[in-house]
Amino acid sequence: MSPRPLLPLSVQIGYAVAEIGQNLSETAVRIFLLNYYTDVVGLNPRLAGLAVGLSLLWDAVIDPLMGAISDRTLGRFGGRRGYLPVGGVLLAIGVLLVFRPPHLEGQAAMFGWLLFAACFLGTGMTVLSVPYMAMGGEMTDDPHERTALFGWRFACANIGGMLAVGLPVLFVTERADSVAAMAPAALAAAGIVVATACLSWRATARVQFRQAPVAPTGTWTAFSEPLRNRAFRPLLLAYVVATLGIGVNAATAVYYYQYRLGLSQTQISTLLGCFLGVFTLGILGWVRLAQRFGKRQAMAVGGVCLGLANSVVYVVAPPGSLLLPLVGGALGLGLLVGCIVLIDAQLTDVIDHDQVRSGQLRSGLYFGVWRFASKLARAVAIALTGHVLEGIGFVPNQPQGTYVAWMLALLFGPGVGTFFVLAGWILWRYRFGEGEQAQVRRILERRAGRQRRRVR
């Protein structure tokens, strides 16, 4: 809590760079993995959804444990920073395993490989992402600087998302569309993951991280302790609900554009790239709105507007339409979805609140549970999408009937939008705002002042 200089812009951007590789991997999995294994590998949609869902459950369970481990390694092996290059290498190997499977015969072999490879990828993501996310709240004490730091992180995340969409296009051939081209694109993606993780590790070498004593944490405590914090529970609930919407949206996107609208792979890649580009540019506006009106208000209003617009745009878009999804979806919704960046920044304020209660700085524990809940929600979303696709009669690589196409529109539109509206309503009722955070900061500053006087 001692006064420290503001973080240079080069350090803020350098820290955020690791998010490029992380989100490249995560976006590729969200958008292409289910489609890749159903349309290219030949796995049954229900089994594909089950395998990805189970791998996310494994990934979710180890997140809080990784958070507790990283809390206890502060001051050793480079602290949380030490996990960045290790996690980057593991994640890169996972990307190759997932998108470059060996020749497999039979549904059981395909299911088993996908489950193994996705679990390996998730483990690498956890080793990299949980300590990395916790670092953001410990690099600065200033709430506005934290918001800016997380803004840069999400901007880099969207660059990674655009790479996830754009890289496969570079490898498209007459025999391989964007989905099938994920196999050669995985090599480039793996290299980017390792490079960005190491760049972030290097850029934060001289940062004076905020630290406090951390008591030993048992396995059950790693899951339960953050849930005792009243300021954390409703924020986590809103995040889970929003993540369910994002998960269904990502898992359904390619199916909606290809089988409902009948767009080509090039048009789909253009739409997704425009969406992520506008999302990236819109983050600056949401950071400014949060600094002026408060994070809670901006998150709540943005979530409701995003949900309502999503429910309308994708239902009214007729088959063969590119203009409406481009203007209303990629441009309009791309601007609104930037409000999501504020939820992670709000979590760092809640961690300060926990430090007042416990006298410990347990960023890893909180971000571990945060990631656990996120991946649990994604697992449910992907498994649900796989079951819905089979339930409505979807058949891969075949023209779909009117009923299936209409159900895809309802799933991608109101099915997703309802989650965002509900998340916005929860955030509107959330009561830990800027005033409460200012009070927490004053308490921590008084404690730090007393500690400095005792040291003297």
The C-alpha atoms of residue 19 and residue 13 are separated, in whole angstroms, by 10
Q: How far is the first Cα of the chain from the last one, in angstroms, to the nearest whole number?
A: 16
Mean predicted confidence (pLDDT) in 185-198: 94
Q: So what's the pLDDT on residue 77?
A: 58
pLDDT of residue 197 exceeding 60: yes
**Beta carbons of 323 and 421 less than 8 angstroms apart:** no
Mean predicted confidence (pLDDT) in 3-27: 85
pLDDT of residue 216 exceeding 60: no
pLDDT of residue 433 exceeding 80: no
pLDDT range class, residue 148, cuts 50, 70, 90: confident
pLDDT of residue 215 exceeding 60: no
pLDDT of residue 138 exceeding 90: no
Could you tell me what percent of the chain has a pLDDT over 70? 92
**Beta carbons of 15 and 149 less than 8 angstroms apart:** yes
Residue in 442, 434, 366, 339 with CA at minimum distance from that of residue 143: 434
pLDDT tens readout for residues 54-100: 887 888 788 888 887 887 776 555 678 889 999 999 999 999 999 99
Mean predicted confidence (pLDDT) in 391-420: 89
Mean predicted confidence (pLDDT) in 226-254: 88
**Beta carbons of 444 and 352 less than 8 angstroms apart:** yes
pLDDT of residue 399 exceeding 90: no
Q: So what's the pLDDT on residue 3?
A: 46
Q: So what's the pLDDT on residue 307?
A: 93
Using alpha carbons only, what angle is made at residue 96 by residues 91 and 100, rounded to the nearest 5 degrees?
Answer: 155
User: The domain 11-203+219-455: what is its CATH number?
Assistant: 1.20.1250.20
Q: What is the DSSP letter of 102?
A: P
Please report, for the chain, the start and end positions of each structural domain, with discontinuous segments joined by +: 11-203+219-455
The C-alpha atoms of residue 257 and residue 76 are separated, in whole angstroms, by 49
pLDDT range class, residue 451, cuts 50, 70, 90: low
* Choice among 10-19, 90-99, 236-245, 269-278 with the minimum mean pLDDT: 269-278
Mean predicted lDDT score pLDDT of the chain: 83
Residue in 156, 150, 114, 154 with CA at minimum distance from that of residue 135: 150
pLDDT of residue 195 exceeding 90: yes
pLDDT of residue 306 exceeding 50: yes
* Choice among 113-122, 205-214, 351-360, 367-376 with the minimum mean pLDDT: 205-214
pLDDT range class, residue 1, cuts 50, 70, 90: very low
Mean predicted confidence (pLDDT) in 111-125: 94
Q: So what's the pLDDT on residue 426?
A: 93
Higher pLDDT, 32 or 190: 190
Q: What is the DSSP letter of 8?
A: P
**Beta carbons of 215 and 360 less than 8 angstroms apart:** yes
